[in-house]
Amino acid sequence: MSEPLTRSPITHLRHVGLAMPDYRESVEFYDKIWGLVPVANDSDITFFATPAHPEQYILRVRRAAEKRLDLLSFAVETEHDVDAVTERMIAAGVQVDREPDKLGTPGGGYGMRFFDPDGRLIEVSAEVAERPYRPLEPRESIPQKLSHVVVNATDVVATKKFYETLLGFRLSDWLEDQMCFLRTRVDHHILAIAHGPHTSLNHVSFEMRGIDEYMRGTGRMKRSGRPPIWGPGRHGAGDNTFSYFLDPNGNIVEYTTELERIEDDAAWEPRVWVATPEEADQWGTSNPITEQMIPAMFNDPDRGVWTGSPI
């Protein structure tokens, strides 16, 4: 049995990979409407970055017959960390999809892939080359970085335990017993696990420069004919703002900002938030969670579980 981790090797969420039947519409959405920048592509995949962050890309969209979450990619600091993660996974009997090796995606690097308990494909990588970046200007209402991802699981406690035990994630808060928020550094969460009827993607969240840029981005989406399905508002758990939208394939994507930071990790005591309107939205500016939002959060059952991605 591996020794317990005193500190997670994971530094941040690097990128999210989505596979989509409506590929062209999705590329157009994330480029022209959502505000990301395509940095590499061929006929069947496009990699999107933001000019404000050194990651080579924070989202990749791949053409596929069925919608699926291709993978979640987390960063570690060194190749040794990648090897150490691999050793822990093998010792725990976790199914490894790709052994550690050089990566052929933009920025290169060194990484490996495995499946979490729900069959979700996870990549851990290091030494990926950075790209030039710049601070966003005031009023520049495009994503500044990838904030977090929320996934649905039928057994939240079991999935939570996996990420805590084998990757060193720490519990920040609970939303009743229905959703847990997990961190690896100071951000309140980079991963959250919600109870759902099946394994699926709940939503992907992108951080904006500040409140003004967040509201301007929300307004731009409304003017483009894509109003929020929930928001704008401000959550209790995480204290972050939220505006949720649907992409062309029915995945929820979020604009957010001012996510809570946990500077004193040792002193932090996880809280349990209650799903009241006042705690779901501290501001009271959003409508209650609508009939559209709830099934959209559950999303379609992920058809890609326990299946590696071709790229």
Burial class (CB in 10 A: 0-12, 13-18, 19+), 228: buried
Residue 2, pLDDT score:
62
Residue 297, pLDDT score:
96
Number of H helices, E strands in the chain: 6, 17
User: What is the spatial distance between Cα 254 and Cα 275, in angstroms, rounded to a whole number?
Assistant: 19
Residue keyed to tokens 């690896």 = 184
For the chain, what are the domain ranges? 12-126, 145-298
**CATH 3.30.470.20 given to domain 145-298:** no
Which CATH number is 12-126's, of 3.40.50.150, 3.20.20.70, 3.10.180.10, 3.20.20.220? 3.10.180.10
Name which of 161, 139, 113 is nearest 14 in CA terms. 113
Residue 77, pLDDT score:
98
SS (H, E, C) 30-58: HHHHHCCEEEEECCCEEEEECCCCCCCCC
Asked whether the bond before 232 is cis by omega within 30 degrees of 0, the reply is yes
Residue 39: phi and psi, rounded to 5, are -115, -15
pLDDT in tens, the chain (311 residues): 467 798 999 999 999 999 999 999 999 999 999 999 999 999 899 999 999 999 999 999 999 999 999 999 999 999 999 999 999 999 999 999 999 999 999 999 999 999 999 999 999 999 999 999 999 999 999 999 999 999 999 999 999 999 999 999 999 999 999 999 999 999 999 999 999 999 999 999 999 999 999 999 999 999 999 999 999 999 999 999 999 999 999 999 999 999 999 999 999 999 999 999 999 999 999 988 877 898 999 999 999 999 999 99
For the entire predicted model, the pTM comes to: 0.97
* 298, amino acid identity: F
Residue keyed to tokens 């892939």 = 113
